[in-house]
Amino acid sequence: MIVEEHDVLHDVRPEETQPILRYTLRERVMHWLTGFTYLYLMATGMALFTPHLYWLAAVFGGGPTIRFWHPWVGLVFTAAMIWMYAVWRDEMRTIPEDREWNRKVKLYIENRDEELPPIGRFNPGQKQFYWVMLFGTILLLLSGIVMWFPEYVPFGIRGVRPIAVMLHEIGALVTIGAFIIHVYMGLLVVPGGFRAIVHGYVSRGWAKTHHRLWYNRIVGSGSAER
């Protein structure tokens, strides 16, 4: 599977060559539910954000169609984010080991990972992405509800409507920025990361390189189920 045969030494016990389950099926379904709904929301939102990308509306069925579905898909995305909050909130809290890593984040950007302190199941960058998306979702949901039903906003407080659009755009731009980095890291910077979030498994080398505290914890406990 993930472990390349020629790398395995003969005196290694068989269980030490086994890949490690990094993401359970539940976590993978949860991740891709947020992922695909966010992709749809981003594409249809960009169509309405700038006339230069209005052609994206045609890709997804035309302007009236995306106007109808964008809010509903937004609710699915929100539900998935609430699920993700329930499942990952404890693991996404900053732990003492994160602080030194955070100070040395420049080393991470420059791929000098061996000079960084060992890190748990999620590194501080991943945790920041999680919280940015979570708070972004709250902002996008609240402003989005106003944009969904502007005809019910009394004319006396009509200023709320364009403010909601502005907050929605700010929320979108911030989360899109985080999303670009997230996709780039997962697809290109950390080989094996994408496979992990699709199939669930990582090699022991991957786990030890990128998340050593987590690796030590699960190997020390004798369980490969994180």
Q: How far is the CB of 24 from other proteins (least distance, A)?
A: 21
Q: How far is the CB of 158 from other proteins (least distance, A)?
A: 7
C-alpha torsion 149→32→47→129, nearest 10: 90
Residues of this chain, 18-57, that bind other proteins according to CB under 8 A: 47-52, 54, 57
The answer to whether residue 127 forms part of the interface with other proteins (CB under 8 A) is no
**Contact at 8 Å (CB) between 98 and 119?**
yes
Q: How far is the CB of 210 from other proteins (least distance, A)?
A: 7
CA distances from 41 to 46, 56, 76 (A): 8, 11, 10
Q: How far is the CB of 165 from other proteins (least distance, A)?
A: 6
Residues of this chain, 143-162, that bind other proteins according to CB under 8 A: 147, 150-151, 155, 158-159, 161-162
DSSP letters, 115-183, are: GSPP--SS-HHHHHHHHHHHHHHHHHHHHHHHHH-GGGS-GGGTTHHHHHHHHHHHHHHHHHHHHHHHH
Residues of this chain, 161-220, that bind other proteins according to CB under 8 A: 161-163, 165-166, 169-170, 173, 176-177, 180-181, 184, 188-192, 203-206, 208-210
Count the residues of the shown chain that bind other proteins, applying the rule CB under 8 A: 57
Rounded distance, CA 169 to CA 103, Å? 31
Q: Please give the structure tokens belonging to residue 151.
A: 């005809």
Q: Please give the structure tokens belonging to residue 124.
A: 């501080």
- Applying CB under 8 A, the residues found at the interface with other proteins are 3-4, 7-9, 12, 16-17, 47-52, 54, 57, 62-64, 66-68, 109-111, 113, 147, 150-151, 155, 158-159, 161-163, 165-166, 169-170, 173, 176-177, 180-181, 184, 188-192, 203-206, 208-210
